[in-house]
Amino acid sequence: MKELFFSLIRSSIGRKCLMAVTGLGAIGFLIVHMGGNLFIFRGQDQINSYAHHLHSLPFLPVLEVSLFALFAAHIILSIVVTLQNQNARPIRYAVNASAGASNLSSSTMIYSGIAILAFIAFHIWHMKFSHSAHVDEYIKVTSILGHPIITIGYILGILAVGLHLFHGANSAFQSLGLRYPKFDYIVEVGGRVCALTITFGFISIPVYVWFVLRGG
C-alpha cells in the first residue's frame, strides 16, 4: 500500500487522481457539514442537539484530524498540479471544453484554493477557540455571525468554495476517467448544481442569522 501511494505521488497522472479523490472526499464532507449546520433553521434546541451528538462521538478528534489532512492534501496537490501544468505549456492538461476549461472557475483554481485554506483556518479558529467550551452551539453561531465584518468574511469564503467547486467537481470526474460523451451533460450539470447547492446552502446560514435571528 505504501509503495502504491508513493508511486502515485511520483506520477503526474497519479497526483491528478489523488487530487480528484481528495476533492470528491472534501465535497462529501461539505454536503454532510452543510446538512448539519442547516439545523439552525429548526431552532436552538435542534442545532444544540445536533452539536451535542456530534461532539459526543468518541472518534471525533480522529475524524477532525483526518478531515484537515484531506483538505491539506487536496490543496497541496492542487498547487503542485497547477505548477506542473504551467511548466508543461504549451502542452496543457487536456480538459474537455464542456468541463469549463476557459471559465473563471477553472482559471482561478489555485487562487480560490488558497482563499479556501485561509477561510478554513479562519473558521476553525472562530468555532474552536473564540468561545468557551461551555457556550452552546446556537449562542456561539449567532454571536460569531452577528458581527457584520465576520459575516462578510464568511460569505466571501463560501463564495471562494463555490467558485472552486464549479470547475473542480467536473474536473475530478475527468481526472478519474469517469466522464463519457454520453453522460457528459449529466456530469456537468450535476457538478454545477452541487456547487451552487453547497454555496447557497452555506450562505443561507449567515444571512439567516444576521437578518432574521439578529434583525440585521
Rg of the chain (C-alpha set): 19
Which is higher by pLDDT, 76 or 129? 76
Residue with cell 456537468: 188
Among 7-11, 38-42, 114-118, 153-157, the least confident range: 7-11
- pLDDT band, residue 83 (cuts 50/70/90): confident
Give how far Cα 167 sits from Cα of 31, 32, 72, 77, Å: 17, 20, 19, 16
According to the model, what pLDDT value does residue 38 have? 95
- pLDDT band, residue 37 (cuts 50/70/90): very high
According to the model, what pLDDT value does residue 216 have? 54
CA atoms within 13 A on the CB side of 192: 11
**Do residues 86 and 109 make contact, with C-beta atoms less than 8 angstroms apart?**
no
Domains and CATH numbers, the chain: 14-213 (1.20.1300.10)
CA distance 43 to 48: 9
CA distance 210 to 216: 5
Angle (deg, nearest 10), helices 12-37 and 2-10: 110
According to the model, what pLDDT value does residue 213 have? 83
According to the model, what pLDDT value does residue 6 have? 61
97-136 CB burial, b ≥16 within 10 A, e <16: eebbeeeebbeebbebbebbbebbeebeebeeeebeeeee
- Mean pLDDT, the chain, rounded, equals 83
Q: Please report the sign of the dihedral spanned by the C-alpha atoms of residue 113, residue 122, residue 44, residue 134.
A: positive
CA distance 161 to 105: 10
Distance of CA 196 to the CA centre of its chain: 12
Q: Quote the percentage of the chain above a pLDDT of 70.
A: 86
- H or E element that contains 57: none
According to the model, what pLDDT value does residue 93 have? 42
**Do residues 176 and 135 make contact, with C-beta atoms less than 8 angstroms apart?**
no
- pLDDT band, residue 215 (cuts 50/70/90): low
Q: What is the DSSP letter of 176?
A: T
According to the model, what pLDDT value does residue 46 have? 93
pTM comes to 0.83
Hey, what amino acid is at 122?
Answer: F
According to the model, what pLDDT value does residue 50 have? 92
**Do residues 156 and 199 make contact, with C-beta atoms less than 8 angstroms apart?**
no
Tens-place pLDDT, residues 140-187? 888 888 888 989 999 999 999 999 998 888 888 887 877 677 777 888
